[in-house]
């Protein structure tokens, strides 16, 4: 049966602004299905973003939403969670927003293990501003600012999140649509900082510069590079060359930040 | 059982052709930058098109 997205969308906002074939739309639908599967109440859920194409998402969905400053989504979300620890806090945004200008906020939210779900839409580029390279642009790839090919090494967002202290880290792609909602739902249920990296496509500013003939070609590439973690353990380093691992990459239980902070408040009040 | 119903919301469809490419039974076709349900009877309600449409533009109803 067709899924009823309308129940979670603000009326009259479609069609959205994203370009034909932009993976952000696929990821947004996955997020909505995950919220539905977890039964989150609209009034008790906040969706927070920074700036970028991905960060336009909160404008479309009918929850408590904040569209904030570039790179600052995790900081605003931390504020919401500290003020209202019972609220479900979900952050959405792009690779540029989360790992370039917002890299610091991102790693420190991970380090604190604050209970939020951060869905990062990694299309390897600054889509909104015309295709400048981001820390996630592959080495050698073309961007408007790397016309001779990108000389920089690339951030692996999931590894960055694990290294910084996030206690649930998962990755999927826009091709693997049903996995998007499963992993986000798992992240929502996890008590602590959950990071879900969705590899997606920006046909407009990345695809056309990097010899993808179509959106479909970009989707096929996402299909080809993804290797589920379980399958990867049986593969050689050679076979894994150029692939990315998908599924739950890391999970542990650790003290959560708002709960730790509640103890500080209790102490300060002489309890 | 009747075959599933595939509905395209034309004002949302941006003609990316993702649904056409990944439909396993070739139900869908591109027609002047919009999707056309060319072979409705071949639909197996696998939902591949609906799940991957970035634009909320295609819906599959089973009964
Ligand atoms: C302080 C500040 N610096 C720069 C910008 C310009 N800017 C807007 S969006 C963006 C990058 C967005 O890239 P990403 O987060 O990857 O999102 P995408 O558009 O790819 O979805 C930049 C640099 C800004 N809005 N504010
Ligand atoms: S510029 Fe890229 S990221 Fe932005 S809406 Fe278009 S395809 Fe999506
Ligand atoms: S539900 Fe499956 S078979 Fe039917 S049109 Fe969509 S992709 Fe094709
Ligand atoms: S995937 Fe959606 S937007 Fe793209 S052609 Fe099909 S119905 Fe249209
Ligand atoms: Mg981006």
- The CATH number for B37's domain is 3.30.70.20
Domain that holds residue A264: 5-268
- CA dist., res. B47 & res. A147, Å (int): 40
Verify whether the Cβ–Cβ distance A2 to B11 is below 8 Å: no
State the pLDDT at residue A59. Answer: 98
- CA dist., res. B63 & res. B43, Å (int): 12
CATH number at residue A30: 3.40.50.970
- Give residue A205 CA to ligand 2 midpoint distance, Å: 7
- CA dist., res. A248 & res. A228, Å (int): 9
Q: Structure tokens of A215?
A: 């959106």
* Nearest of B1, B43, B9, B11 to residue B26 by alpha carbon: B43
| Omega prior to A15 cis, within 30 of 0 | yes
3-state secondary structure of A179: helix
Q: Structure tokens of B50?
A: 């609906």
3-state secondary structure of A128: coil
Task: Please return the burial class of B39, using the count of CB atoms within 10 Å of its CB with bins 0-12, 13-18 and 19+.
Answer: middle
Q: Cβ distance A73 to A93 under 8 Å?
A: yes
Atom 4 (ligand 4) nearest CA: B16
Query: pLDDT (tens digit, 9 = 90+) per residue, A11-51?
Result: 999 999 999 999 999 999 999 999 999 999 999 999 999 99
Q: Does A202 contact ligand 2 (Cβ within 6 A)? A: yes
- CA dist., res. A102 & res. A19, Å (int): 24
Verify whether the Cβ–Cβ distance A14 to B16 is below 8 Å: no
Query: What are the residues facing A228 on neighbouring strands?
Result: A246
Verify whether the Cβ–Cβ distance A215 to B17 is below 8 Å: yes
Verify whether the Cβ–Cβ distance B53 to A175 is below 8 Å: no
State the pLDDT at residue B2. Answer: 76
State the pLDDT at residue B1. Answer: 61
- CA dist., res. B6 & res. A50, Å (int): 36
**Nearest residue in A to B10, CA atom:** A15
Domain that holds residue B53: 5-61
3-state secondary structure of A181: helix
Helix residue spans in chain B (DSSP H): 18-22, 48-52
Give the distance between the most distant pair of CA atoms in chain B: 32
What is the number of domains present in chain A? 1
Across A38-51, b (16+ Cβ under 10 Å) vs e yields bebeeeebbbbbbb
Give pairs for A34-38: CB < 8 Å, separation 24+: A34/A180, A34/A181, A34/A182, A34/A183, A34/A184, A34/A185, A34/A188, A35/A8, A35/A63, A35/A90, A35/A188, A36/A3, A36/A7, A36/A8, A37/A181, A37/A185, A38/A185, A38/A188, A38/A189
Atom 2 (ligand 4) nearest CA: B53
H-helix or E-strand containing A169?
A: strand A168-173
Residues of chain A with pLDDT under 70: none
State the pLDDT at residue B3. Answer: 83
| Distance in Å, alpha carbon of A8 to nearest chain B alpha carbon | 12
- CA dist., res. A172 & res. A178, Å (int): 10
Testing the interface with B: which of A17, A21, A36 to mutate, by most B Cβ within 10 A? Answer: A21
pTM to 2 decimal places: 0.98
Residues of chain B with pLDDT under 50: none
Q: B1 and chain A: CB distance < 8 Å anywhere?
A: no
Query: What are the residues facing B7 on neighbouring strands?
Result: B59
Atom 3 (ligand 2) nearest CA: A127
Residues of B in contact with A178 (CB under 8 A): 51
What is the number of domains present in chain B? 1
């Amino acid at each position: 049966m067709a899924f009823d997205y309308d129940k979670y969308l603000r009326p009259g906002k479609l069609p959205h602004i994203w370009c034909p074939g932009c993976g952000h739309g696929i990821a947004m639908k996955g997020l909505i299905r995950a919220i539905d599967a977890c039964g989150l109440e609209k009034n008790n859920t906040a969706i927070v973003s920074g700036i970028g194409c991905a960060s336009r998402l909160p404008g479309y969905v009918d929850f408590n939403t904040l569209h904030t400053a570039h790179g600052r989504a995790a900081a605003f979300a931390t504020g919401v969670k500290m003020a209202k620890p019972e609220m479900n806090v979900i952050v959405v945004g792009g690779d540029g927003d989360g790992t370039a200008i917002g890299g610091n906020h991102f790693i420190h939210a991970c380090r604190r293990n604050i209970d939020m779900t951060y869905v990062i839409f990694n299309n390897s580029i600054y889509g909104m501003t015309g295709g400048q390279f981001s820390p996630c642009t592959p080495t050698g790839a073309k961007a408007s600012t790397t016309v001779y090919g990108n000389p920089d090494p690339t951030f692996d967002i999931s590894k960055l999140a694990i290294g910084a202290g996030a206690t649930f880290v998962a990755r999927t792609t826009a091709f693997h649509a049903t996995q998007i909602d499963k992993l986000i739902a798992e992240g929502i249920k996890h008590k602590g900082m959950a990071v879900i990296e969705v590899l997606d496509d920006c046909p407009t500013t990345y695809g056309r510069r990097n010899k993808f003939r179509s959106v479909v070609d970009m989707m096929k590439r996402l299909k080809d590079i993804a290797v589920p973690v379980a399958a990867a353990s049986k593969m050689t380093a050679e076979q894994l060359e150029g692939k990315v691992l998908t599924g739950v990459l890391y999970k542990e239980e650790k003290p959560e930040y708002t709960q730790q902070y509640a103890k500080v408040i209790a102490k300060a009040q002489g309890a | 059982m009747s075959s599933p119903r595939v509905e395209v919301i034309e004002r949302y469809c941006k003609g990316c052709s993702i649904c056409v490419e990944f439909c396993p039974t070739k139900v869908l076709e591109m027609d002047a930058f919009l999707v056309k349900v060319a072979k409705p009877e071949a639909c197996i309600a696998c939902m591949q098109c609906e799940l991957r449409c970035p634009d909320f533009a295609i819906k599959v109803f089973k009964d």
